[in-house]
Structure 1
């Protein structure tokens, strides 16, 4: 009886220590547990690929003759290495070897040969990942990381080097969970807890029973969804207060991956991500604990210093790109519109006083520099004036309007730009790409007889949503918002320059990339896209007539091939111009973007513009007063428009 007062205190204490507290594990035991869990994932992965060999054979989902295009931008050494293992027989042999090594890694033992086995599994997985472009997932990447880290740790000669490698893998685990969680927070479905039910209703990852349960128990499903978010976002707290949350965090994460495996069919996740956990447990245990005595934690200090340096570099990069984005060129000018917006524009060429001025309006999430090839050729080969501008929120243009944004605001801005930047009495030719074409059409009604003609370049049409062409783009506003938030956090430093930017003239590339990596343009695109959807979904009836204004309608072949309905809508744009000459052209091989940024397609577009407004067709066709349709297949590229030509005015401005 004298111990009765102690029992109630002892039991809760044991429960608390079992839930809250570090999970001490020695270095060698942590390596052994992690490598075995990763080996199970590799074994399952290779067995899956071996049983689905038809996917890697000719005509399969991962036919190498098709899949190798994804290595086009890789270096010659990488291409040769991957090519060397991507034959059907070689790939099969590698997976058989991986299966055998994975089985061997499950056997007891603690020798250095296990390190070689881990390195083989990790390196072969990395080499085979391009081969299995479709079908690979995050579990393969995690297993590869764990195997390379633990393999190198087994082969490392000193305890300090071993600990540095284990710290590296552990910190990668923290980042993997935290980044995944914080990225989810950018998405509304995760914040309002509708994501879980949405995923469970899909055919690929869904589970009918769990989906039904989320519908029947919305409050519990919401708590579960937010619990998963909290687990991922706060996973780095395993290192707080001497590892007090290590046991509960690791246990919860393991349960989460088991649930993924069961409900979503992601069976490799069951062992791949938990392969991180022994390493996390080892590094999260206080150094004073006898199990981890002598652990070298200098890698943590180095990581903190590197993080601080990276944060400073990211902030500096944001500032530098913002300045490059907003400063414009040395020839840039500004104009304030009636909406109080400040527009930045550039006069490429004043042209002859008796000739019209070509005003180029860009598309959604597009820079005015996208018109570089076209603008430069118009300057060199015609007597037209040439003006480009950035809409409010793009480049150095600023939106200062205080009312809610509508497309009519951008239309007024374009009208004010023409009236303010072009001398009174001079005609203008409005050229618009994508949504810029629709803005030009609406602006023409306000500019009256100042408009000598309109050129629609793969233009938007207000009826495209009712035709079903916008159904696949409903989530664009959310995507724009997510990218904008991420860029504001400094993640732009991680961006690599998109390959398409290299299609532009050299002198323009840095400025275009600076805009692409700046949050302002993505925020402006989100604002415009929401206004476009609101405006276009309310469109009914026919387009308003544009009296007496000639129109050239240029379509990209890839656009109309993907959506044949688009060609009919482009035809309606031409038909809306009454009492004037119209022409419709399809640029063979061009896409929505490459018709501007790829020199050979941009040259064809420019040829058509010059021929249409000069009243001559360089391809020996006769323009008529009725709508005609042709396919342009040949570009006339002068020496002034060849790729690599020095762009004198822009080069001087760099």
Structure 2
């Protein structure tokens, strides 16, 4: 800068350097910006309450189902807060309090007001989740921190809380940026146009500009990425870049508010900027003289401890996932892949074994209720009635790369590899000639369909559980448009787990719906990065093959039961037509073909909801009984029963 003309040095001095705010200035600016978010949000609610009424976006009669498993005190508190009169009273009080905080002053009463806004926000948020888009959470965080700072009166405590806000601000930009970086549309710069063309956040005129000037659109998208991923650079060299970075971030939020209709983003996220400005100013500056920075090393130690704990949890889960345990078998396929399987032999040598094929990013434990039901039937002996479908054995397995199964194949993955593995599993795990019924869910249904014709006469039938259709990405607008997000979501999940974020993963409700004995292994598999890496690999090949699909489905010479989830076909009628095509491919003289739509079921609920799983098990038993009856009727009178020996394993059900 010394060699620059005086005018240039003056301009750079205005653009570069820290934003010196005193402690009281930072607290005051943060709480006023957060109060402005609350003021606007509560006024919006009082002016437009239709979304909380019956059939509204935030209808509490529907939203409260998400808290059905919580404790009674919390449910009662939320029910009280969600009552129309209580909600209006709370919002009216929030308006008055927020307006008071907009006034000048620095008394301790402001701390109580901040805490009231933060606490009421936490109480109201579960009843009005849709429409906040993160702004209420950000403002609530600031209000709790500034409230505690006001009430403490200790400069050291206030500095620690301001550091907390600043670190949260840095974290919000960093996480957002690095997650975006995983998406191909952000890396190639097309994301901006994609966002602007959506119905919720789009803007028609600006979208047209992105199409007319794609290079400029890519520059803006990459600029957003750089801003978020590199946000902490404003702390470098004594806050030299604090002004341009904070100005860019504030401009970004203003643009979001104007273009995408996220008006509260402007004040909610910029409410954290004063704390960033305060903490990024060098301690030698008079404005921050005496600032206590001990929060930073404490945060570093906590982060290091969290990293160690996250690694330990991930390692423990990995050991649990890869330890197949007693009672399992192993098959090495033609590709060198090592598959782990588990099952029960069933009532008799001539009865079919149900081979369950799990879906994408799923586990064999998803079939826990099915395994338990058929194990109990088999355990009942002849009383279960093999002819009634009660005596069927079952087998579950992890596809290569999932759980304890290892993928050794060196070549590029294709779905044919999984089909070959399934055929080799049947040949290697079951006695020669033992009848089988393939039961595939989602992508597992497509793998089973492709394997069916290769199993010959030993195949008794195929059960498709809300199965994928190879032409669904071309024929279903819903499936086709959503495909672009599936790969990104799988990669993001996998990268997050490899980074140790699995320790923060909450247990999804479907895990708690499974039989008690399989919940822990199901959660361990769900939180293991290997499963998501395998799913990403499978999805990459699936999308390519499905996009390239042409022509009708291959005719099948086997019985079939096609089960559809009502929610799936209601949301996407094209899926019902494609499921019917799967059934039609099996229709020929002497074959049993049935189609069923399970009312009230969604895609995963067919497996994980006990009531729905029991209903599907009933359909499978009926299908087996009818298939056995037809097979017995068509068999030669003097035909000998299959002479296959017992299964090479006899294992108790996973759900005991």
> What TM-score, normalized by structure 1, do the two folds share?
0.89
> Structure 1 residues 601, 203: CA separation in 2 closer, same or farther (over 3 Å shift)?
closer
SS of the residue aligned with 1:474?
Answer: helix
Summarize deviations over 1:630-653 as a string: whole Å, max 9, x none. Answer: xxxxxxxxxxxxxxxxx965478x
User: In the alignment, is residue 393 of structure 1 matched against residue 401 of structure 2?
Assistant: yes
User: In the alignment, is residue 557 of structure 1 matched against residue 566 of structure 2?
Assistant: yes
SS of the residue aligned with 2:38?
Answer: helix
In structure 2, the gaps of 5 or more residues are: 379-390, 633-650
SS of the residue aligned with 1:335?
Answer: strand
> Structure 1 residues 169, 507: CA separation in 2 closer, same or farther (over 3 Å shift)?
same
Distance 2:352 2:67 in 1: 46
- Residue 413 of structure 1, aligned match among 421, 442, 445: 421
- Residue 612 of structure 1, aligned match among 620, 623, 627: 623
Distance 1:418 1:100 in 2: 70
Summarize deviations over 1:270-290 as a string: whole Å, max 9, x none. Answer: 222221111111122222333
> Structure 1 residues 333, 227: CA separation in 2 closer, same or farther (over 3 Å shift)?
same
Distance 1:448 1:572 in 2: 22
1:27 matched to which residue of 2?
23
User: In the alignment, is residue 129 of structure 1 matched against residue 125 of structure 2?
Assistant: yes
SS of the residue aligned with 2:397?
Answer: strand
Where in structure 2 are the equivalents of 1:436-475 lying within 5 Å? 436-468=444-476, 470-475=479-484
User: In the alignment, is residue 231 of structure 1 matched against residue 239 of structure 2?
Assistant: no
How far apart are residue 256 of structure 1 and its match? 1.7
Summarize deviations over 1:308-351 as a string: whole Å, max 9, x none. Answer: 11111122222222222222232222221112222121233465
1:76 matched to which residue of 2?
72
How far apart are residue 466 of structure 1 and its match? 4.3
Distance 1:99 1:335 in 2: 66
Summarize deviations over 1:136-168 as a string: whole Å, max 9, x none. Answer: 122222111111111110101422222221111
- Residue 115 of structure 1, aligned match among 96, 111, 114: 111
How far apart are residue 53 of structure 1 and its match? 2.1
Q: Is the 8 A contact 2:592 2:626 kept in 1?
A: no
> Structure 1 residues 18, 348: CA separation in 2 closer, same or farther (over 3 Å shift)?
farther
Distance 2:578 2:214 in 1: 43
Q: Is the 8 A contact 2:340 2:405 kept in 1?
A: yes
User: In the alignment, is residue 219 of structure 1 matched against residue 215 of structure 2?
Assistant: yes
1:153 matched to which residue of 2?
149
Where in structure 2 are the equivalents of 1:583-598 lying within 5 Å? 583-598=594-609
How far apart are residue 8 of structure 1 and its match? 6.4
Distance 2:547 2:222 in 1: 34
1:494 matched to which residue of 2?
504
How far apart are residue 624 of structure 1 and its match? 12
User: Bigger shift: 187-196 or 595-604?
Assistant: 595-604
User: In the alignment, is residue 95 of structure 1 matched against residue 103 of structure 2?
Assistant: no
- Residue 603 of structure 1, aligned match among 568, 589, 614: 614
SS of the residue aligned with 2:200?
Answer: coil
- Residue 520 of structure 2, aligned match among 486, 492, 510: 510
Where in structure 2 are the equivalents of 1:48-447 lying within 5 Å? 48-349=44-345, 352-382=348-378, 383-447=391-455
In structure 1, the gaps of 5 or more residues are: 1-5, 626-646
SS of the residue aligned with 1:137?
Answer: coil
How far apart are residue 415 of structure 1 and its match? 0.8
User: In the alignment, is residue 572 of structure 1 matched against residue 581 of structure 2?
Assistant: yes
2:593 matched to which residue of 1?
582
> Structure 1 residues 48, 544: CA separation in 2 closer, same or farther (over 3 Å shift)?
same
SS of the residue aligned with 1:172?
Answer: helix
> Structure 1 residues 380, 228: CA separation in 2 closer, same or farther (over 3 Å shift)?
same
Distance 2:469 2:5 in 1: 74
> Structure 1 residues 545, 264: CA separation in 2 closer, same or farther (over 3 Å shift)?
closer
Higher relative contact order (CA 8 A, sep 6+): 2
Distance 2:610 2:630 in 1: 25
Q: Is the 8 A contact 1:329 1:650 kept in 2?
A: no
> Structure 1 residues 86, 377: CA separation in 2 closer, same or farther (over 3 Å shift)?
closer
Q: Is the 8 A contact 2:460 2:627 kept in 1?
A: no
2:536 matched to which residue of 1?
526
SS of the residue aligned with 2:263?
Answer: coil
Distance 2:550 2:202 in 1: 38
Q: Is the 8 A contact 1:348 1:388 kept in 2?
A: no
User: In the alignment, is residue 44 of structure 1 matched against residue 53 of structure 2?
Assistant: no
Distance 1:357 1:229 in 2: 53
Summarize deviations over 1:364-422 as a string: whole Å, max 9, x none. Answer: 22211111221222223134432211111211222222332222221111111111111
Distance 1:560 1:223 in 2: 41
Distance 1:103 1:37 in 2: 11
How far apart are residue 612 of structure 1 and its match? 2.9
1:536 matched to which residue of 2?
546
Summarize deviations over 1:77-107 as a string: whole Å, max 9, x none. Answer: 3322222222222222222222222221121
Distance 1:243 1:397 in 2: 51
Distance 1:154 1:203 in 2: 42
> Structure 1 residues 533, 255: CA separation in 2 closer, same or farther (over 3 Å shift)?
closer
Q: Is the 8 A contact 1:170 1:276 kept in 2?
A: yes
Q: Is the 8 A contact 2:559 2:627 kept in 1?
A: no
> What TM-score, normalized by structure 2, do the two folds share?
0.89
